[in-house]
Amino acid sequence: MSADSKQLSDKLDGATKQSGDAYLALPPGECCMKGTLHEGEPRGSFESIADVETYIVKPKDGKGNGNIILYYADVWGMFKNGFLIMDGFADAGYLVVGLDYFRGDPVWKHRKHQKDTTTEPNFDYEAWKRKHWAFAAEAVPKWNQAVKDKYGNSSTKYACVGYCFGAPYVCDSLADGTCAAGAFGHPAFLKESHFYNLKNPLFLSCAEIDHTFPTEFRNRAIDILNAEHKRYYLQVFQGVEHGFALRGDPNDPYERYTKEKSLSGIVEWFDFWLSQ
């Protein structure tokens, strides 16, 4: 664990001792603002669902499988890389919907990268996280139900995927039965209870170098999943950092490979569980 992660973990530990529900994936940190923009033209569109702007991308004609993926964004929110990842899931046959719980206020509007001090010199990252965390916690369950009401039918099955900030909503949607299968990449904001409460299968796509989900926390999560006999699949890529699945450098062959394998692995996971 890095010195920064250790310091933050110590602070959080004091806040969670009374409840006994320790953090295993820490809140997003400065390194969550690292990344590279990808090439391509998103093909989805926006509409309002449950009063939240939502990106919607449909499978190509004749390619749909009738099922839906709920997408929970990282701190970069609705940006090109996220759109292209959602388009990739749609190319695999799913209707994909992703809500903008940042309401047009993603972190990149305040800092272009982790060392940026000029875009907004007085930007308070912690206050920004608290504000959007509070909104998302209330908005996501309502939005989930609204998506089902609008686009689902009696035969529709649901999966969910989240990155960083979005990981807790994946676990929540697997705990309350909203989704039949879920996946997250380089997660944040997860407590032990998120793993104890899972009722449906979880795919964990992880980086070796991750300040929010370091090896010892990841191992503890796996220990819980094993002890509780939860269905899971763990994927760990050596040599990549937090953000690889959305913001890896496409000009680096290995980073491009890990991003693509994360996406294809999640698709295969969803295809299997939603066919059962």
Alpha carbons 186 and 40: distance in angstroms, whole number? 23
φ/ψ of 49, rounded to 5, equals: -130, 125
116 is catalytic: no
Buried-exposed string 123-146: b where 16+ CB fall within 10 A, e elsewhere: eebeebbeebeeebeebbbebbeb
* Nearest in space to 27 (alpha carbons), one of 188, 220, 191, 207: 188
Helix (H) or strand (E) holding 162: strand 158-163
164 is catalytic: yes
Q: Which residues lie closer than 8 Å to 138 by C-beta, 6 or more apart?
A: none
Q: Which of 32, 160, 164, 171 is catalytic?
A: 164
* Nearest in space to 257 (alpha carbons), one of 274, 231, 272, 238: 238
Helix, strand or coil for residue 120?
coil
211 is catalytic: no
Q: How do beta strands 232-241 and 202-209 pair?
A: parallel
* Nearest in space to 5 (alpha carbons), one of 239, 127, 188: 188
Q: Which of 87, 179, 210, 211 is catalytic?
A: 210
Q: Work out the widest C-alpha separation in the chain, in whole angstroms.
A: 54
83 secondary structure, DSSP code: H
Catalytic residue positions?
164, 210, 242
